[in-house]
Amino acid sequence: MIYHINSRESFKIAMDESSRVLLSGGVVAFPTESFYGLAVDISNDKAIEKLYSLKQRERNNPILILLPEKEELKRYVADIPEQAVKLIDAFWPGGLTLVLKASSAISPLLTADSSKIGVRLSSHPVAIALARSIGRPVTGTSSNISGRPPCIKADEVYDSFGNSIDLIIDDGPTAGGKGSTILDLTVDPCVVIREGMVSMEDIQRTLSNL
């Protein structure tokens, strides 16, 4: 099923239907700042397992989450170091994923038993509305079979997964390019796992006065 967003009313209908799908354990494809992503309810382990199977993703490869609000971070991580506070103020909402120590609210399936979770607050209106529609984070992994290029169009998502995706939200092509920068703050010094939308230079500049 593909929902096309072309008005305020269609946006509301898409979010209402997405909420129903997510809360029933389904998978929703949605646009982000860079690529289309795949969302499931992070409190539903069966849905997370389904997501791994759909992407043919190794179980030792963790999955990041997208928050509904910045203030929700403290519920899903064990601690928020000063470095994280500085980076959040500078780059959220936006293209920076912070890897932090996971709280007990996070399924080990998402962390791949690493006790770490990648967390982001998206700046894309559909992505953030999706999490807000169920009042808790959703997964933010890219919409592709593992090892293949991520999708930038709703039609590409359908071509990759067919009817295995319960709902595809079509808000037009995404920007493509680089995905979010992934920064591990559980180690000292912090480590860039993947450089993307936020440059290492900007990160270093932000943290330079700590």
The CATH number that applies at residue 193 is 3.90.870.10
pLDDT, mean of residues 1-23: 94
Contacts of 105 (CB under 8 A, 6+ apart): 75, 76
Whether residue 210 is predicted with pLDDT greater than 70 in this model: the reply is no
Q: Domains in the chain: how many in total?
A: 1
The predicted model scores a pTM of: 0.94
pLDDT in tens, 158-198: 999 999 999 999 999 999 899 999 999 999 899 999 999 99
Calculate the CA dihedral of residues 144, 185, 194, 60 and round it to 10 degrees.
Answer: -40
pLDDT, mean of residues 34-53: 96
Q: Which domain holds residue 14?
A: 2-207
- What is the model's pLDDT at position 142? 94
Nearest to 139 by CA among 36, 15, 1, 13: 36
Phi, psi dihedrals of residue 73, rounded to the nearest 5°:
-55, -45
The region of weakest confidence among 16-20, 59-63, 159-163, 205-209 is 205-209
